[in-house]
Chains A and B, each alone.
Chain A
Amino acid sequence: MSTAFYWSIAGTAAGLVLVGLWGVLTRKNILRIALAFTVADTGANLLLVWSGYLPGRTAPIIDGSIPASDITSSVVDPLPQAMVLTSIVIGVAVAALFVVVGVLASRRTGSADVRRMKELRW
C-alpha cells in the first residue's frame, strides 16, 4: 500500500514537469506558454516535497502528540518544505512578470502568436 502511494506521487510530479515542458516547447499562444510553465513549476515543487517524505511519520510541528525525546524519528524532513515555500512564492512572481511582458509584446505586434514576435528591436 505504501509503496504504490509513494511512487505514484513521484510519477505524477515527473509527469507534470514533462507535460509542462512539452507545452512550453510546442504551443503558440503566449498565455498558454505561461500556463504550461506554471504547471511545470507546480510539478517541480511536488517533486521537492516528495524527496523529503518518509512514510509513516507526521508533520514537522511539535505539539503535544510528538514525544519530545524522540523527534528525529517521528517527523518528516523540514528542509525541503522550507525550500518549496520559497519556490512557490517566487514562481508566482515569475508568472506575473511573464504575463505582463507577454501582454505588452502582443500589443506591440498585434497578435498573441509567438511566431510573430521575432524582432529584437523596440
Chain B
Amino acid sequence: MIRTLTGLIIVLALGAVAASVIPEMQMRSELQGVGYSYASRGMDETGSSNLVTAVIVAYRGLDTLGEVVVLFCASTAVVLILTLFPIGVRASEPSRIVAFTAKVLPAPIMLFGVYFIAHSHLSPGGGFPGGTVIASAFLLVMLGSSSVPDRNGRLPAIESLAGLTFGLLGFWGVLTAGQFLNNTFLGTGTPGTIVSGGLIPLISIAIGAKVASEFSGVFKAFRNTRGEA
C-alpha cells in the first residue's frame, strides 16, 4: 500500500513536469537547424532518396557503428549466460500446421528481407529491419522442427565477418578520401536507381547480415541441447 501510494505520487509529480516540458518539444512551423540542412542537402550530397537512411549511414555513420557494438555486446552476453547456465527449453515435436508452415513460408520471408536491405536507399527500408525480418524467418524454421539448429556453428562466423566488413568499409574511406566512413568516394550516382548512394548499400548489407545472424544466434541459444528442461 505504501509502495503503491509512493509510486503514484512520484508518477504524478513527473506527469506535472512532463505537462510543462512537452509543449516546448513541438516543432515550430518550419524545419530548423540540423534537420533543415539534412533535408535540403541530403539527396545531393549522398545520392540516396531515403533521407532517414542517409542520416543513419552517411551523416551519423559513427553512431550506427556504436549501435552495432551495443547489439553485439548484448547478444554475446545473452548467449554467454545461456551457455554457462543451460536453462534452454527442450524442444517438443511441433504440430502438423506449424511443421507445414515452416516448410513453406521462410523462403518468401527471407526474400522480403533481402529486398528490404537492398532497397534501403530507395524506399522505406534499411539494414536493421531487414536483418530482423531474416531472423524471424530463421525463428520460423527453428519452431517447425525439434532438432538443434545450426549444428555446424556458421552463424557466429557470419556475424563476425559482417561486423569486420563494416569496419573495413570505413577504413577504405580513410585510405582513399582521408575520412573514416566517407560516403562519396565511390561516386553518388543518380538518386533513384539501385546503383547509387555511394557506400550506403554496402554498409546496409553488412548491417543486415550482422543483425540477422546475431538474433538468430540468440534464438538458437534458447533451445537447449543437453536435456535439462
Contact = CB atoms under 8 A, between A and B. Distances in A.
Q: How large is the interface on B (under 10, 10 to 19, 20 to 34, 35 or more residues)?
A: 35 or more
B22 A47 contact: yes
B8 interface: yes
A39 interface: no
A21 B64 contact: no
B61 to A, nearest CB: 11
B132 to A, nearest CB: 8
A73 B52 contact: no
B177 interface: no
Interface size class of A (residues with CB under 8 A): 35 or more
Contact of A72 (B7, B39, B77): B39
Contacts of A94: 74
Contacts of A81: 52, 55
Nearest to A97: B74
A14 B18 contact: yes
Interface of A: 6, 10, 14, 17-18, 21-22, 25-26, 47, 50-54, 59-63, 68, 71-73, 75, 77-79, 81-82, 85-86, 89-90, 93-94, 96-97, 100-101, 103-104, 107
Interface of B: 3-4, 6-8, 10-11, 14-15, 18-19, 22, 25-27, 29-31, 34-36, 38-40, 42-43, 49-52, 54-56, 60, 63-64, 67, 70-71, 74-75, 77-78, 81-82, 85, 87, 123-124, 126, 128, 132, 191-192, 211, 218
